[in-house]
Amino acid sequence: MAKKVLVVDDVAFVRKTLSEILREAGYEVIAEAADGREAISKWQEHRPDLITMDVVMPNLGGIEATREIIKQDKRATIVMISAMDQIHLVMEAIHVGAKDYIQKPFLASDVLHVLSRALRGESTPDAPSSLSPRAS
């Protein structure tokens, strides 16, 4: 049976791109959300196997939404989506319970590798040097 995924990002193009990658790989995208409040509501309604969660969103950000979802279900599998300059936020999200992260811009192969690893319950790697803030 296909794994059910909730895709959360405030940018419609990113949601569409992630959803297409996931569907082509055999995942079932059961819902999309544009902010953290909507993510919590859709998660409660659908209880997906996996959530891709943008870090920075209007109304309620990804860290706060992750914190709330994990508070309700410690087994929820959440993978953060972040821009390169947001590593400190990603590490905070992992601290509150996210399983892993994907860096924007992303390749389909990277997305699928990280989601597969998260669904297997493999431990989150430390932040790679490629995610360290760039020197000015």
In the chain, where are the structural domains located? 4-106
pLDDT of residue 44: 98
pLDDT of residue 23: 98
Given 3-state DSSP classes, what are the helix, strand and coil percentages for the chain, each rounded to the nearest 5?
Answer: 45, 20, 35
CATH superfamily of the domain spanning 4-106? Response regulator (3.40.50.2300)
pLDDT of residue 62: 96
pLDDT of residue 115: 96
pLDDT of residue 125: 55
Global pTM value = 0.88
Q: What is the DSSP letter of 71?
A: H
* C-alpha span between 87 and 65 (Å, rounded): 17
pLDDT of the chain along its 136 residues, tens only? 899 999 999 999 999 999 999 999 999 999 999 999 999 999 999 999 999 999 999 999 999 999 999 999 999 999 999 987 888 888 899 999 999 999 999 999 999 999 999 999 886 555 443 333 333 3
pLDDT of residue 128: 43
